[in-house]
């Protein structure tokens, strides 16, 4: 009979999301730092807000709904690649690794690979600690033989792993093409941070969205049901809550398109009329048609992403794709120094 190990849920940073905002201006619920960050973005010559503010409670649910949309191919395409090539991936990786799952959410993607990967320790990392705590306790019952150590932290700006994460062979797992939400330069420095935490025999298993027909890309980020539009517009409610802003969601519209030169989908919120927005400590007038840039989602070729991995200190890349070459799952190892 297998013995159950206890799972340690370590909460490293707080989650400041979840409360819906009324339309009128109100008290700021974000920290002074968060309000300052939002304020600087809104006052910039080209207004911009970090995509991390897309994810309050409702934003996370809307993103889950996006993953179900027929137009949003990345989720199902990546799942099909894992289903078809998971055994090959497991052979390349080897059993008994310390599996560190970045942005784990409900842990479902990693869990589907447990029977193949047979990790010695599973370390899901996610900013939303409540979600993680629930998911891990359920998972621990299904896989009592795997030690589980959940970390509630924001890893997007770099991090150091606590001592509770074993120093065995570490494998970072970063599926879902979330790497595309960094610029290529940011991606290189983020991946270098993973390499530094991975150890000499460490590796990376990562999902990457590939360049394809721009009509397919445009539809994936501007779906017929308007779920992605709601996901983008919901950021304004979140800003009302965090910064005490008075955004009127009905005065804004979703814009998303593939910027071929930049090799990225850009998401913006566009003012439908001339208007003024006020928030705690600031205000700005927007002309009709003026935009707030909310997200980039970079798309790569296999070669360009392998080149980026090499710059970050990973080599021996093995690439698995779907028959249409829309998405890639890549395993790479830390380059020996």
Where do contacts with ligand AVI occur on this chain (CB under 6 A)? 66, 74, 176-178, 180-181, 221, 228, 295, 297
Q: Which tokens in the block code for residue 86?
A: 């998971």
Residues contacting 75, CB < 8 A, separation 6+: 67, 68, 176
Nearer to ligand AVI, 58 or 120 (CB): 58
- Mapping DSSP to helix (H, G, I), strand (E, B) and coil, where does residue 161 land? coil
CB of 32 to ligand AVI, least distance (A): 27
Nearer to ligand AVI, 47 or 105 (CB): 105
Nearer to ligand AVI, 74 or 244 (CB): 74
Q: Which tokens in the block code for residue 30?
A: 């974000």
Contact 182, 192 (CB under 8 A): no
Q: Which tokens in the block code for residue 48?
A: 């911009």
Nearer to ligand AVI, 147 or 222 (CB): 222
Contact 124, 10 (CB under 8 A): no
CB of 258 to ligand AVI, least distance (A): 12
CB of 257 to ligand AVI, least distance (A): 12
Contact 174, 205 (CB under 8 A): yes
Helices (H), the chain: 32-43, 57-66, 73-93, 108-117, 129-142, 184-198, 214-220, 227-243, 302-311
CA dist 30 and 20 (Å) reads 13
Nearer to ligand AVI, 181 or 280 (CB): 181
Residue whose CB is nearest to ligand AVI in the complex, by number: 297
Nearer to ligand AVI, 60 or 118 (CB): 60
């Amino acid at each position: 009979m297998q013995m159950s190990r206890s799972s340690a849920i370590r909460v490293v940073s707080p989650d400041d999301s979840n409360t819906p905002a009324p339309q009128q201006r109100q008290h700021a619920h974000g920290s002074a730092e968060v309000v300052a960050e939002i304020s600087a973005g809104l006052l910039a010559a080209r207004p911009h807000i970090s995509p991390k503010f897309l994810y309050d409670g409702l934003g996370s649910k809307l993103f889950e709904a996006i993953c179900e949309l027929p137009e949003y191919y990345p989720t199902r395409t990546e799942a099909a690649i894992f289903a078809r090539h998971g055994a090959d991936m497991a052979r390349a990786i080897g059993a008994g690794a310390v599996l560190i799952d970045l942005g784990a959410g409900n842990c479902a993607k990693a869990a589907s690979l447990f029977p193949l990967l047979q990790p010695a320790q599973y370390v899901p990392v996610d900013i939303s600690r409540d979600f993680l705590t629930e998911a891990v306790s359920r998972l621990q019952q299904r896989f009592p033989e795997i030690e589980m150590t959940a970390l509630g932290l924001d890893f997007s700006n770099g991090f150091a792993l606590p001592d509770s994460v074993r120093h065995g062979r570490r494998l970072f797992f970063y599926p879902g093409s979330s790497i595309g939400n960094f610029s290529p330069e940011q991606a290189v420095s983020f991946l270098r941070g993973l390499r530094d935490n991975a150890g000499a025999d460490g590796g990376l298993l990562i999902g990457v969205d590939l360049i394809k027909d721009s009509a397919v890309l445009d539809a994936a980020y501007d779906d017929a049901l308007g779920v992605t539009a709601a996901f983008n517009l919901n950021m304004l409610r979140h800003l009302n809550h965090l910064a005490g802003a008075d955004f009127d969601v009905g005065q804004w519209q979703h814009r998303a398109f593939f910027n071929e030169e930049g090799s990225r989908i850009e998401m913006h919120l566009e003012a439908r009329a001339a208007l003024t927005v006020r928030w705690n400590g600031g205000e700005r007038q927007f002309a009709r048609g003026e935009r707030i840039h909310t997200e980039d989602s970079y798309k790569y070729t296999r070669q360009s992403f392998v080149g980026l991995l090499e710059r970050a200190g990973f080599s021996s890349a093995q690439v698995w794709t779907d028959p249409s070459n829309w998405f890639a799952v890549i395993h790479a190892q830390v380059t020996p120094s």
